[in-house]
Amino acid sequence: MKTLDEYAVLAEQAHGHMCAGQVLGLRLALYGLKLLGIDDPTGEDRKRLVSFVEIDRCATDAIMVVTGCRLGKRALKFRDFGKVAATFCDLQSGRAVRVAALESSKQRARELYPEIDNKNHQQMKAYREMPDSELFAHQWVRVHVGEEDLPGFKGPRVSCESCGEGINFRREVVRDGRTLCRACAGEQYWEPA
Ligand SMILES: [Zn+2]
Ligand SMILES: [Zn+2]
């Protein structure tokens, strides 16, 4: 593992700026990996980890930097719950831990650095230093990760009988005997303009 400072440099490059959310994300991922005993997530252990993130904000970019889990590698899963939380699944041991940021951490940052007016700066400084227990709650959980959701899954590709587009990873649905993509089955998020 790199140090928090080293990760901060990488995170700033990846995200475009440094902010409290990034520090929190770095700490959150480091804590999760520590609990799982994974210490080389982008090297030797790179195939061990699948991460579920619950928000699409600054912290998520930082979690990607530490874990090496990316959407394009299928090792990062997004569940849009709007929470600064993530679950780290160790595919080798089958263990998983969910780490969530505590609401009280903002108040704690205010207590630690009342002299810093800028909330972002105040929290950035505090979140670097606060112990894990003041920043996060964690819980050991079980996550069912289907084989079709695993990195490296190879399965048959089918075509939607309505729109003709190809569908990977068993994402098709069968409706009244027809094989459809999720959009044609009613989950379409867009409409023709
Ligand atoms: Zn940010
Ligand atoms: Zn379709």
Contact 28, 136 (CB under 8 A): yes
Distance (Å) from CA 178 to ligand 2 centroid? 11
Closest ligand, as measured to the CA of 188:
2
Distance (Å) from CA 184 to ligand 2 centroid? 4
Phi/psi of residue 85, each to 5°? -155, 155
Rounded to two decimals, the pTM is: 0.94
Q: What is the DSSP letter of 147?
A: G
Bridge partner list, 36 = none
- Per-residue confidence band for 1, with pLDDT thresholds at 50, 70 and 90: confident
Q: What is the pLDDT of residues 21-69, one digit of tens each?
A: 999 999 999 999 999 999 999 999 989 999 999 999 999 999 999 999 9
DSSP characters over 58-96: HHHHHHHHHH---GGGT-EEE-----SEEEEEETTT--E
| Alpha-carbon gap, residue 155 to 142, rounded angstroms | 25
Give the 3-state DSSP-derived string for 5-34, with helices as H, strands as E and coil as C.
HHHHHHHHHHHCCCCHHHHHHHHHHHHHHH
Q: What is the pLDDT of residues 148-173, one digit of tens each?
A: 999 999 989 999 999 999 999 999 99
Contact 131, 109 (CB under 8 A): no
The helix (run of H) or strand (run of E) holding residue 4 is helix 4-15
97 torsion bin: left (phi>0), alpha (psi -120 to 50), beta (else)? beta
Distance (Å) from CA 127 to ligand 1 centroid? 14
Closest ligand, as measured to the CA of 57:
1
Distance (Å) from CA 77 to ligand 2 centroid? 23
Closest ligand, as measured to the CA of 16:
1
| Alpha-carbon gap, residue 113 to 45, rounded angstroms | 37
Closest ligand, as measured to the CA of 165:
2
